[in-house]
Chains A and B, each alone.
Chain A
């Protein structure tokens, strides 16, 4: 009963490098989301997906790319990491888009 898993849990990368955060869910939920959590900002939506091959921007999408070729996976890519992208990233899924969301354990990303 894995639910929703994120990998890696911790990542340190250098400015300018590309990095991909993985998210996998076993419930076959239609909706998946990426949020970033920063002190003083709460949880901010980066991208979301209503189904495989359907993605849309959230509140803070700049500098990020997502894809969803399979229902269960929703990777988030930072094309050229910047220090301002140092954050904790949470992936979440839900049956419908605006009801109970199930969060992964988070990935703590540090860009140096």
Chain B
């Protein structure tokens, strides 16, 4: 069945270091979304990418959608303690066509 995989599962960085999480889908996606979940919180939408090769930036966060629309990445420049949390990628489900399938997430911890 369709799978959305994320690596790494966990990442610990020192404040100020960069961080990247990668998302790979077993199928081509019409769009890919990224969500952030703070510890004890709920997932919150960050961004959606639609076009092949698309790159979007939100302050220190850079999101990319691969040319084949099967992979994506989230890069955070100069991490801060406020970046702590779990980052999920998600794409439209092939099984449940009108729902999202999520990757397992990358949990980021930051020490100051």
Contacts and interface: CB of A to CB of B under 8 A. Distances in A.
16 contacts: A33-B100, A43-B88, A43-B90, A45-B99, A48-B99, A50-B98, A57-B96, A58-B96, A59-B96, A90-B42, A90-B43, A97-B99, A98-B97, A100-B33, A101-B45, A103-B44
B96 A99 contact: no
B42 A101 contact: no
Given A48-B96, A98-B93, A41 B104 contact: yes
B93 A43 contact: no
B26 to A, nearest CB: 14
Contacts of A106: 42
Interface residues of B, number: 26
Interface of B: 30-31, 33, 35, 41-45, 48, 88, 90-93, 95-105
